[in-house]
């Protein structure tokens, strides 16, 4: 596993990642960005990444409506996703994260059929470009966020993975450890986002390590399922801005780093442990 952070693709943003001592970045090219304009910057982005020693671990597009009211794929949406996949391929990024919105008036199974059809197109396109596809577990223009939708959609698409974030499970009053136990081997990308719940209600999203997610157990589940991808820090609270926000990111880096086994870890082959 390797630690990184969500940030932009400008030269200054990539320098900021480097200055935090991180070597990995995630780009969120959300619905409010023209993906073709971002793709047009691919050479400059690659140069900046090389200059600062930063690699792109994940690209995602959140909040975009992909299916129209008749249950048909919106061509412009598919084109945006393909642009993001092309950018990921060019930058050597291993995973693209997407969602699929529910169509009102369609049954659950009809919506699942539509989602399977859409993700199948992304998987086929990504496979040709060495980019895996993951569905994010956030409900922003997406209904494939947990069971029973995972049972159906991931069950029918063995190459579709998950972008997992414990905060979204908690917002649905779910059990994130139970979800990770069942679906941990399908996680392609993972967000490190703190959440603070009081009396069963979400109160704030402080930096990870200053919240009440059981991060030790979360990391144990990732190790058990042999996850070897990016752990992406997601600063997410208006209460943590400016200097205290930057300090919070630094705190999370120090907090999560000891959970990550170094790639060069060595041990004596003693027979008594473990």
Under the banding of pLDDT at 50, 70 and 90, the label for residue 274 is low
Nearest to 127 by CA among 83, 96, 172: 96
Q: What is the pTM of this model?
A: 0.96
Which residues fall within 8 angstroms of residue 183, CB to CB, at 6 or more apart?
150, 154, 162, 164
Q: Could you report the per-residue pLDDT of 171-184, keeping only the tens digit for each?
A: 999 999 999 999 99
CATH label of the domain that carries residue 137:
3.20.20.150
The answer to the question of residue 102 being in a domain is: yes
Query: From CA 196, how far away is CA 177, in angstroms rounded?
Result: 16
> How many folded domains does the chain comprise?
1
Cβ contact 60:136 at 8 Å: yes
The answer to the question of residue 174 being in a domain is: yes
Which residues fall within 8 angstroms of residue 272, CB to CB, at 6 or more apart?
none
The answer to the question of residue 246 being in a domain is: yes
- Per DSSP, 67 falls in state B
The answer to the question of residue 266 being in a domain is: no
Looking at the chain, the whole-number percentage of residues with pLDDT higher than 70 is 99
Range of the domain at 197: 2-259
Nearest to 12 by CA among 3, 2, 25: 25
Q: Could you report the per-residue pLDDT of 143-195, keeping only the tens digit for each?
A: 999 999 999 999 999 999 999 999 999 999 999 999 999 999 999 999 999 99
Which residues fall within 8 angstroms of residue 254, CB to CB, at 6 or more apart?
209
Q: Could you report the per-residue pLDDT of 79-99, keeping only the tens digit for each?
A: 999 999 999 999 999 999 999
Tokens matching residue 93: 């990024």
The answer to the question of residue 132 being in a domain is: yes
Q: What is the pLDDT of residue 268?
A: 79
The answer to the question of residue 82 being in a domain is: yes
The answer to the question of residue 115 being in a domain is: yes
The answer to the question of residue 264 being in a domain is: no
Query: From CA 23, how far away is CA 2, in angstroms rounded?
Result: 8
Do strands 55-60 and 24-28 pair parallel, antiparallel, or not at all (unpaired)? parallel
Q: Could you report the per-residue pLDDT of 203-219, keeping only the tens digit for each?
A: 999 999 999 999 999 99
Q: What is the pLDDT of residue 273?
A: 61
Phi, psi of 5 (to 5 degrees): -150, 150
């Amino acid at each position: 596993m390797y630690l990184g952070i969500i940030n932009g693709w400008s030269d200054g943003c990539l320098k900021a990642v480097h200055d935090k001592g991180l070597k990995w970045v995630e780009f969120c090219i959300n619905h409010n960005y023209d993906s073709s304009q971002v793709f047009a910057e691919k050479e400059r982005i690659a140069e900046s990444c090389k200059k600062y020693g930063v690699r792109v671990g994940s690209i995602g597009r959140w909040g975009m409506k992909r299916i129209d009211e008749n249950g048909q794929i919106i061509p412009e949406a598919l084109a945006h996703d393909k642009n993001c996949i092309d950018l990921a391929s060019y930058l050597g990024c291993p995973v693209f994260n997407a969602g699929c919105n529910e169509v009102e008036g369609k049954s659950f199974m009809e919506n699942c059929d539509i989602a399977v059809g859409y993700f199948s197109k992304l998987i086929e396109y990504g496979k040709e470009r060495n980019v895996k596809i993951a569905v994010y577990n956030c409900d922003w223009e997406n209904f494939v966020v947990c069971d029973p939708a995972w049972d159906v959609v991931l069950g029918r698409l063995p190459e579709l993975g998950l972008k997992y974030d414990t905060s979204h499970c908690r917002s649905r009053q779910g059990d994130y450890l139970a979800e990770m136990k069942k679906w941990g081997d399908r996680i392609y990308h993972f967000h490190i986002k703190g959440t603070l719940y009081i009396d069963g209600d979400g109160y704030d999203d402080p930096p990870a390590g200053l919240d009440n997610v059981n991060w030790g157990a979360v990391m144990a589940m990732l190790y058990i399922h042999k996850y070897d991808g990016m752990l992406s820090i997601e600063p997410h609270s208006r209460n943590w801005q400016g200097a205290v926000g930057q300090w919070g990111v630094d705190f999370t880096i120090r907090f999560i780093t000891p959970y990550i086994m170094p790639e060069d870890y060595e041990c004596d082959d003693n027979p008594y442990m473990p």
